[in-house]
Amino acid sequence: MAVSGEGIHLTDEFNEALSALRGGENVLITGNAGTGKSTLLRLYLDERGTDDVIVTAPTGVAALNVGGFTIHRAFGFRPGYFPDDLKPGGKWRPSASVNKVLSAINVLVVDEISMVRADLFDMMDIALRSIRRSEEPFGGVQLILVGDLLQLAPVVTDGERELFSTVWESPYYFSAKASERLRLTEINLTTVWRQSDETFIEILNEVREGSVGEGAREILNSYVDPDFVPPQDWVTLASRNRRVEAINKQRLEALPAEKFVSVAVYTGDADAKSFNGSEELTYARGARVMTLINDYAGRFVNGSFGEIVEASADEIVVSLDNGEQVALGKHTWEIGRPQVADGKVSSAMVGTVTQFPVNLAWAITIHKSQGQTIPKLFIDLSGGTSQDGQFYVAVSRAVSLENLRLSAPIEARHIRASNQLVRRLRRSSSATVETKRFLAMSVDGVDFSVSQHVALVHAVVVDDGEIVANFGSWINPAADLGDFGVAHSIPAGGLALAPALGDFWPLLLRQAEGAVVIGHNLAMLERTVRHQEKGMALNLGVGYDTAELNFSPDGSTPAQQATSIAEALLSNRLSISRGQVVPPADREREGAVFLPTWAPRTNMMLDARKATESDIAWAALFGGSLVPTDRNEVQECIELMGAWGTSRGMWTTEMRDELLERAKVVLPGGYDAPPVVVESDQSYALLYEGARVAFTGRKNLLGAPADDERLAEICASRGLVYKKSVSKTRTDVLVAGDPASMSRKAQNAREFGTPIITQEEFERWYADSDRAAGPAPAAGDSTVAPETVIETESPAPADDAVRKSVSADLIRDAADVLNPGTRVAFRGSTYVFGQLIPQGEELQKFCSEIGLEFKQAITKTRSDVLVTDDPEAEDGKGLLARRYGKPMVTSKNFTAWAEAQVEARTSQYVSPDPEPQPQAAQVVEEVSQLPSEERVPEPAVTEDQT
């Protein structure tokens, strides 16, 4: 391997890149963290010279790290500009200096390209073509893009998100209009220099692509130490600026030495955003610091770590980790803007900042760590990770696993990567597709902006030039249906019998096996698994979203769109050359489908070669042509839908009878079904004066839209108290537009035993002016409880004792029945160390951490154990557990077992105070106040994170 004059090892990749750069090609230099992207760029610019080069980056910190300018400063853009603002008559008025610089350059370098938005990339192209009076992409300058696309992503606010699915197909630079005409040579660097441990490198590769296997996760989690106090020479990374400031402040205050304060001094056009130092730096002997400049003598670089060993008001002496000791006075940064002087592009000083060239560095933000190497690293996960690639940036700063510690176990929510980018990168390195099988699919569902939930899927399989499968299913989205429900005229309880996405998915994967996927709206599906089916592996190989193929399918429904994609494949309007097929599917794991009578009829044709007997039974019940041969499989379908309906509070005689009739047509025989749940109208007993009422799933109430203010007025007019959320002690009734809703409020109501009445019942009660809210019931009055009737044969007098005996026989000790992978359903509230863990996403996450699989419902074959606060309860889950002979564990017993598991795993759920917390229910109340009734995900990057 050749070595440059600067001692840099010239790999074949480096030589290939240098050859492309010297030839004037537009180049993307990408690769994993630590592969030498910045080194390669510096090597080329040192060789070439920079008289006609401008180096830019999307953020101030990134620009300072490469000695360049922010894109906005270099181009004269202001915050809030969009491409239309650069057109004739627009807001953009480039100064004479900007005009001169952009006219003079021949090379434009853009570092940290992963963070450059599509709209900004288009603006750069428009500006250069306008100023240089050239229609060549970017005015004909050589473009050098540098960065790992799977590191930090572009920042997009909720209000801007729609732009990047309509005007632009994604927020990434390659979705810009300018990219369509840009010829770009991609150089992917693969040799990792920062780490040498092959195991660690492989783990980083998995984290980078957002798909960490159990083995890699176990290795990472073996370095979890929630009680770890980082030694002086360790650096803590956190996602939030406030957390970083708190850590540094705490460590500084603990030093016994005299504290000094240095305030930055600004001149000219300079302010706190002009440099990466501290506007007010408090320091002392013993403080851990990071240098912010390069030393001309070569003793340290921007990003070196050390400790202050001497301090005064005018000078600090820093003992660097490399053994050097340096005295540092205050440094003056010259703040510049690009200019052309004597035909050369340079920087014209417009102001200065004077301050010590160090920051406190016991802790720094993940964003500021990008590009750094941190030999001893502690990652504080208390603030979570809010962006694609953020955890990868953090963990890839480490040099080795031995000198890495984590504050909490790694979960799926921490490891995020853009599926669109992963597909793009995997396709670029994949071989030519050998398959003739393709899966065309489309999804639709509920979009709350902060979360998305799939409610309808359709797929068409094309194999060797013909359609061999054409099927779909409605999905219970585990959320209120909102506008989606209105648009599709979904009746109350219309999806009570629909499978969850995870219950449908095994059937789809079997049909998709061996196919390359071409999907419409895949981004919704990929985001869904973060909320609706948290942590579910899609296992769709490496395919394409239609947007990546510049193809817009015809139709407005998933069935029409999937058919349009399939027709394009058959007519060769879509031609796929690269990708990876869907891997072999599990034939033992059962799937499910659901096509209700209230919805438009769609196809239900399966590829018999791929379908199991269970798949055929499900499809046959909803119009499939394949005929099942096993009545037990048909019976199982009925049992599952009955269990789902029971758990969701909507399993009526009409539903039961319809399914039994369908079964008899599909495969004649005698079938049974779970007993029906009938809720009698309790509104007049429950809506008493002073009753605290919450609402979920209403589009309109009493004939008009109902926001919080109107709901409060409606309640007050009848002597009720409006509550924005559902909590155990502060809510008496939940009014639901759909009584089978799986919204957060509805799940909380079922967990807390809060009565649920329908919106129709509330409106009927409201209209009955003679039956306005009466006085609150006397203490102990049982009329306030909802009357749930399970339709069964009339019991004999001894049946009660028999039932109790059956329940007692099913009760087991948690340690005897709870093993890794056990599928567990819950009735009632679950507390661990006094902390309430709400039903739904939180309980699902907790179960995963202690090795269990959370299930929403008790079913015959898809759940193993019921954890219950009342083994003799007559509600749906208790009845079904007895029907199927499922073991029951008491909530108290589960709590003790779970706490032991938590302690063994050093989980973050461990609390120093195991006593019950009186605020537990309040936490749920605060969480449930969102209009979408979904937990708000961690916010996008803000100034607080930079």
pLDDT in tens, 336-379: 776 777 776 666 788 999 999 999 999 998 888 877 889 999 99
Using DSSP, state whether 503 is helix, strand or coil: helix
Give CA–CA dist 750/928, Å, rounded: 14
pLDDT for 414: 74
Average pLDDT over residues 665-690: 84
Of 67-76, 199-208, 864-873, minimum mean pLDDT range: 199-208
Q: For the chain, what percent of residues have pLDDT higher than 70?
A: 85
More confident residue, 37 or 801: 37
Q: What is the pTM of this model?
A: 0.63
Question: Mean pLDDT, to the nearest integer, of 125-135?
Answer: 94
Residue 464, classified by CB atoms within 10 Å of its CB into exposed (0-12), middle (13-18) or buried (19+), is: exposed
Report d(CA 294, CA 737) in Å as an integer: 63
- Nearest by Cα to 389 from 363, 420, 364: 420
Please list, in sequence order, all residues whose beta carbon lies within 8 angstroms of the beta carbon of residue 154, skipping any fewer than 6 positions away: 58, 114, 115, 116, 117, 118, 171, 172
**544-545 sheet: strands from edge to edge:** 466-474, 452-463, 437-447, 516-520, 544-545
Reading phi first (left if > 0) and then psi (alpha if -120 to 50, else beta), residue 692 is in beta
Q: How confident is the model at residue 386 (pLDDT cuts 50, 70, 90)?
A: low
Element (H, E) at 460: strand 452-463
Q: Is the pLDDT of residue 787 over 50?
A: no
CB 870 within 8 A of CB 848: no
Q: Given pLDDT bands bounded at 50, 70 and 90, which one contains residue 836?
A: confident
Structure-token pair, residue 94: 């480039």
pLDDT band at 679; cut points 50, 70, 90 = low
Domains and CATH numbers, the chain: 2-189 (3.40.50.300), 198-406 (no CATH), 430-466+473-666 (no CATH), 679-777 (3.40.50.10190), 800-915 (3.40.50.10190)
701, 763 in Cβ contact below 8 A?
Answer: yes
Q: In what order do the strands lie in the sheet with 823-827?
A: 853-854, 823-827, 865-868, 888-890
What's the whole-number average pLDDT of the chain? 84
